Structure 1
Amino acid sequence: MSIDIGFIVTAFFEILDALPLTLVITIVPLLFGFVIGVATALIRMYKVKVLHRIADAYVSFLRGTPIILHVFLIYWGLPLLIDKLSTHYGWGIKTASIPILSFVLTAFSLTAGAYMSEIIRSGLLAVNRGQIEAAYSVGMSTPQALRRIVLPQAIGVILPNLCNLFVGFLHTSTFAFTVSQMELLGKASVVASNNLKFLEAFIAAALIYWGITVVAERLTAYLEKKVTKYNRGGVT
């Protein structure tokens, strides 16, 4: 058996058409997940009444079950809930008109929020407690101390973990193909099936995934260097 190098190049550019959707499925949930993660981490750290138990259960369930299961639960369950509520309250919403991508992004965002909350919580705990007390001593409120002192330092600590999470969700985006979303691996499967050259198509897909990962790692290293300048005695 020989490998058709020319077809790898051809497949590479065909599969690349699915890159925008793959990046949307990867990045959008991480952005929403960051917001969810910050809120969840703070609720759990400050033991907000009632809410912290809900947050604990949310994180435990989402981290303790497979991501593809979350996709199926949201894809099959959320439309039933929306349709039932729409009928009961007369909203006039039909889930058949809602893009499938919306359910995929919802599932991934909830999952990202659970993982983000643990990453962010570890970053917050890594910041010296004395800095928070110093902020209180100059009259800052807790939200001000978190926004101005704690979160900027925590982000510097968690950047490598955020990069790992990005790479993980980049790979997880392949699950979207199970509900008919044509991301990179799904596109590779179609290209391979149409030409009966599976090895070449999957090599092309692997090169694209690898390239995105390398870019993410380089960007993270650059940002980490910029954000953590305070650890080296300030800026020059």
Structure 2
Amino acid sequence: MRPFSSQQFVDSLVAASHFIPQTLLLIAVPFVVSIAIGFVVAVIRVWRIPVLAPVLQVLTTIIRGIPVYLLLVIANLLYDLYFDTIAEHFGWAARKSGAGLLNLSIVILSIAFIPAAAEFLRGAMLAVPASQYEAGYASGLTRLQILRRIVIPQMIPEAIPSISNMLISLIKASALTSAIGVMDILNESIRSASYNYNLLEAYLAAALLYWGLAVGIELLMKAAELRAGRFKKALAA
């Protein structure tokens, strides 16, 4: 039985830590994009805008039903097969590259998390009492002004726990990008240990780094939740 190599564990930990910025990029950009687009989707569905609301409901249901891993693999195959052909057709100078896989992963993770963002933001919007809308209309505000001045400030405290869960889910999903060749914490940790086949040490090192990122996010979200709670009390007063 092969003994556990503490040196390989440390080596994998150090090697993988160099890719924390890239992993954070895989988390931060999809988070911002999915929140922004998810908010628009939530508003359309809450306001029940004709045509758009039912179409978006169907699209979000479809995307939610496909695992992130499958979305990444399918997108990678399409990218590998057709990107250069499409680029040549439109006269683009860009061609397939390793950097392209990172951008592709960011796009797919953004798409994959739009439905989740839209759902919890829609729930946060619906949690705002109808009397708040009525007060806004009585004050002469338009629908968009009510959304900006009244609804969004009250949505944020309601949405913070879901935002925390979404960020942690993005941390886990970012590890799936290693399956299509994106260099991140997991891929680099495995690569550094593959010469000696010390994969257990590599996986444990990657797990420790992902756990550390998750703990950091949870602490930030708890601090944000406390501030939001005080803000909510101030609004109620």
Q: TM-score w.r.t. structure 1 length?
A: 0.90
Taking only the aligned residue pairs, the percentage that are identical comes to 26
- What whole-Å deviation, never above 9, does each CA across 1:196-234 have from its counterpart, x for those lacking one? 222222221111111111110010010111122133346
Q: Structure 1's 4 and 64: CA in aligned 2 closer, same or farther, altered over 3 A?
A: same
Q: How far did 1:81 drift?
A: 7.7
Stretches of structure 1 lacking an aligned partner (at least 5 in a row): none
Q: 1:204-219 to 2 correspondence within 5 Å?
A: 204-219=205-220
Runs of 4+ in 1 over 3 A off after TM superposition: 76-86
Q: Does 1:53 align with 2:48?
A: no
Q: 1:134-149 to 2 correspondence within 5 Å?
A: 134-149=135-150
Q: Structure 1's 39 and 234: CA in aligned 2 closer, same or farther, altered over 3 A?
A: closer
Does the 8 A contact of 1:45 with 1:121 survive in 2?
yes
Question: In structure 2, how many angstroms separate the alpha carbons of the residues matched to 1:159 and 1:166?
Answer: 10
Give the residue type in structure 2 aligned to 1:28: V
Q: Could you say which residue in structure 2 is the equivalent of 1:18?
A: 19
Question: In structure 2, how many angstroms separate the alpha carbons of the residues matched to 1:82 and 1:37?
Answer: 31
Q: Could you say which residue in structure 1 is the equivalent of 2:109?
A: 108
Q: Could you say which residue in structure 2 is the equivalent of 1:64?
A: 65
Q: Could you say which residue in structure 2 is the equivalent of 1:92?
A: 91
Stretches of structure 2 lacking an aligned partner (at least 5 in a row): none
Question: In structure 1, how many angstroms separate the alpha carbons of the residues matched to 2:114 and 2:84?
Answer: 22
Does the 8 A contact of 1:83 with 1:93 survive in 2?
no
Question: In structure 2, how many angstroms separate the alpha carbons of the residues matched to 1:86 and 1:46?
Answer: 42
Give the residue type in structure 2 aligned to 1:117: A
Give the residue type in structure 1 aligned to 2:91: G
Q: Could you say which residue in structure 2 is the equivalent of 1:163?
A: 164
Question: In structure 2, how many angstroms separate the alpha carbons of the residues matched to 1:95 and 1:53?
Answer: 37
Does the 8 A contact of 2:38 with 2:115 survive in 1?
yes
Using CA pairs under 8 Å that are at least 6 residues apart, name the structure with larger relative contact order, 1 or 2: 2
Q: Could you say which residue in structure 2 is the equivalent of 1:2?
A: 3
Q: Structure 1's 234 and 64: CA in aligned 2 closer, same or farther, altered over 3 A?
A: same
Give the residue type in structure 2 aligned to 1:18: F
Classify the secondary structure of the residue corresponding to 2:27: helix
Does the 8 A contact of 2:186 with 2:206 survive in 1?
yes
- What whole-Å deviation, never above 9, does each CA across 1:105-136 have from its counterpart, x for those lacking one? 11111112111000100111111111111111
Q: Could you say which residue in structure 2 is the equivalent of 1:197?
A: 198
Q: How far did 1:2 drift?
A: 3.3
Alignment root-mean-square deviation, CA: 2.2
Q: How many residues are treated as equivalent by the alignment? A: 232
Does the 8 A contact of 2:11 with 2:192 survive in 1?
no
- What whole-Å deviation, never above 9, does each CA across 1:12-55 have from its counterpart, x for those lacking one? 11110111111111110110001110011111111222211221
Does the 8 A contact of 2:8 with 2:193 survive in 1?
no
Does the 8 A contact of 1:153 with 1:228 survive in 2?
no
Q: Structure 1's 97 and 11: CA in aligned 2 closer, same or farther, altered over 3 A?
A: closer
